[in-house]
Structure 1
Amino acid sequence: MREVGRPVVGTSLGDVWQDVVTGQPDPEQWIIVTAAVVALAAVLLGPPWRVARNVVTIAHEGGHALVALLSGRQLTGIRLHSDTSGVTVSRGRPTGIGMILTVFAGYVAPSVIGLLGIMMLKAGYITALLWLSIVVLAAMLLMIRNFYGVLSIVVTGAVVFGVSWFTPDEVQGAFAYLFIWFLLFAGVRPVIELQSQRVRNPSPHSDADQLARLTGLPGTLWVGVFLLVNVAVTLLGVWLLFF
């Protein structure tokens, strides 16, 4: 753990590694609450949401990619677009439980990642969380197949790296809680946007409609499942932190 008041410019790999393996104390409660309020505002307000939603897309497509690999599919590429949409392509059986889980994973990934992050933060592993995020982003970068996707991953990774390397524990803690609160809260809004888009401009390519074809269950039902899972996960994350 860094010594209080030690110059940040003196950070070394050994200092960071010590923070990764030993953990840090939680920020003060008011910092955690403020981070939650700011994260919620970023989800609810239009201008910040349009920028921050790129992080949600990274988590969404990362969820597809991870579950595709875990279910034995061959991951061939990920694309992230400037309109905050994305595509993850994998090869394997076009039907079956592996394909169902792969398609299902996208919309629940941000909230689930947020919950896992809350667990790490409660255990004190603030720097470890930031560096795990960098490792995951680096792994995703290898599969990105378009320029905007590369730009999104590199900029996000650079921000996380800068905070983890150049800032004191207090700033890292505030940033980590803001980051995780945002992912936890941000899982709900895209599901609502999905259903709104399905009503205005139906598309057979949405995750819900792909699941409808794979399972025979209505796409609207799958939207409801996404929403139920994300709301439940969000409430669990809040409960873990405050109760």
Structure 2
Amino acid sequence: MDVLLDIWQRITTPHAMLEPLIAWLTVAAAAVIVVFPPMWRLARHVITIVHEGGHGIVAVLSGRRLGGIRLHSDTSGLTVSRGRPTGPGMIFTLLAGYPAAALLGLGAAWLLSLGYDVGLLWALLVLLALLLIQIRNWFGLWSVAVTGAVVFSVSWFGSPQVQGVFALLVTLVLLFGSLRTSFELQQSRSRRGGSSSDADQLTRLTHLPGIFWVAVFIVAQVVCVALSARLLGFVRI
């Protein structure tokens, strides 16, 4: 009981916002992680976790039956759902993947703007635990478990300063990383032509060109980045 009360107190106690210099250094660190290839290869696994989680959540909300999620070592993933192969449910399920990390980043930015950095970390742990139930391969289990262990360690053992920096770093990597994956998607589509990407599957369902759907992803992500920057005080509009 004491442990539960301790957890609740940690979650509901707001922390002061980071000092501007530390916040901007964290922005720079997030940019380096997303741009620098060796770091991006690791960070991209986190984006894939959220991407596939987005497919899964929307599949369930749209009335489809979630069959399971697989995460692969090459940072690709697969979410299997059962239901009509066409129609709004399938369209929204496909549409959810690429904006998912940016939308989660926006929600994270909102919590951080209220000072709930530890609350954010525990919310991420709950989401990871729910996702873990749906994972259907060993690498996926390992990937989600390691991510959860890192988040838990910081939330439980980190100082308030470390927790604040880590929470902001995760938020920014989600936002920046989401954008990068959409640009990578279009580069891949340009090189290979037709493919089984989300954008190309949406093309087959809607008869709208793949570049249109990539643009939809990017616009949604840019809006999330802009709103998050406003919430976190990096820009004032």
TM range (shorter): over 0.9
CA displacement at 1:27 relative to structure 2: 2.1
Alignment counterpart, residue 134 of structure 1, candidates 125, 132, 150: 125
TM-score by length of 1: 0.92
Report what 1:121 is aligned to.
Answer: 112
Alignment counterpart, residue 188 of structure 1, candidates 157, 173, 179: 179
Report what 1:205 is aligned to.
Answer: 196
Of 198-207 and 94-103, deviating more is 198-207
SS at match of 1:93: coil
| Distance in 1 (alpha carbons) for counterparts of 2:232 and 2:121 | 19
The answer to whether 1:152 aligns with 2:143 is: yes
The answer to whether 1:106 aligns with 2:97 is: yes
Report what 1:225 is aligned to.
Answer: 216
Report what 1:58 is aligned to.
Answer: 49
CA displacement at 1:104 relative to structure 2: 0.4
Distance 1:107 1:58, change over 3 A: same
Task: Tell whether the 8 Å contact from 1:16 to 1:127 is kept in structure 2 after alignment.
Answer: no
Tell me which amino acid in the other structure corresponds to 1:164. S
Task: Tell whether the 8 Å contact from 1:188 to 1:230 is kept in structure 2 after alignment.
Answer: yes
| Distance in 2 (alpha carbons) for counterparts of 1:162 and 1:96 | 43
Report what 1:7 is aligned to.
Answer: none
Query: For this pair of structures, how many residues does the alignment match?
Result: 233
Alignment counterpart, residue 77 of structure 2, candidates 70, 75, 86: 86
| Distance in 2 (alpha carbons) for counterparts of 1:17 and 1:27 | 22
Tell me which amino acid in the other structure corresponds to 2:169. L
Report what 2:59 is aligned to.
Answer: 68
Listed as ranges, the gaps of 5+ residues in structure 2 are none
Report what 1:96 is aligned to.
Answer: 87
Alpha-carbon displacement from aligned partner over 1:151-181 (angstroms, at most 9, x marks no partner): 1000000000000011121111110000101
CA displacement at 1:34 relative to structure 2: 1.3
| Distance in 2 (alpha carbons) for counterparts of 1:13 and 1:165 | 13
SS at match of 1:25: coil
TM-score by length of 2: 0.95
| Distance in 2 (alpha carbons) for counterparts of 1:208 and 1:29 | 38
Of 47-56 and 228-237, deviating more is 228-237
Identity of aligned residues (%): 51
Tell me which amino acid in the other structure corresponds to 1:51. L
| Distance in 1 (alpha carbons) for counterparts of 2:39 and 2:148 | 19
CA displacement at 1:93 relative to structure 2: 1.2
| Distance in 2 (alpha carbons) for counterparts of 1:27 and 1:223 | 34
| Distance in 2 (alpha carbons) for counterparts of 1:132 and 1:54 | 19
Alignment counterpart, residue 35 of structure 2, candidates 40, 44, 58: 44
Alpha-carbon displacement from aligned partner over 1:163-205 (angstroms, at most 9, x marks no partner): 0011121111110000101101111111111111111123431
Alpha-carbon displacement from aligned partner over 1:94-113 (angstroms, at most 9, x marks no partner): 11111111100100011111
SS at match of 1:41: helix
SS at match of 2:134: coil
SS at match of 1:228: helix
What RMSD over aligned residues (CA atoms) do the two structures have, in Å?
A: 1.3
| Distance in 1 (alpha carbons) for counterparts of 2:129 and 2:224 | 26
